[in-house]
Amino acid sequence: MQRNRFEVAGYLSAKPALRSLPSGTRVANVRLGESYRYQDADGKSQQQTNRHNLSFYGDLSRIAMTLDKGDNIFVEGTIEQRQFTPKGDGVQRTVHEIVVRYCHLIAAPRKTNGKGDASATTAEETTVTDVEKGAFDHDAWPVG
């Protein structure tokens, strides 16, 4: 049995960039970062951050364009490998990307009043505050 399914939750590093392929298909690309903590051999707490290239094709590209830098999202998709040769140096490169099939916004970045103080006036912002207070403890996830 073979299976190509990838699930990850993390934070967007920038606003997605939209472009069109020669076929006319629209695609939005963005990077997602996810972090986890572990203890090294000396017992020190360490943090590892992984970054993933995400590609939203077709109708999903419109959904991706509603996302913004710092949004906490969950995506499900497939891992694909693509090779290309840049015009400048002519050296063939290989890129791994997640082709998104499903996307769910967990929480948008908390809004501030310009002074760095959060103004928790919406349910979305309250959810982010609850997460920061430990209602959802990412550090307690088992490391596999």
For the segment 103-127, the average pLDDT, to the nearest whole number, is: 57
pTM above 0.85, yes or no: no
33 or 118, higher pLDDT: 33
For the segment 87-101, the average pLDDT, to the nearest whole number, is: 91
Q: Is 53 in contact with 37 (CB distance < 8 Å)?
A: no
14 or 86, higher pLDDT: 14
Cα 131 from Cα 121, distance rounded (Å): 16
Element (H, E) at 126: helix 123-132
Tokens 């959904």 map to which residue? 63
DSSP classification of residue 61: H
Could you tell me the pLDDT band of residue 132, with boundaries at 50, 70 and 90?
very low
Cα 141 from Cα 125, distance rounded (Å): 23
Which structure tokens are listed for 56? 């939203």
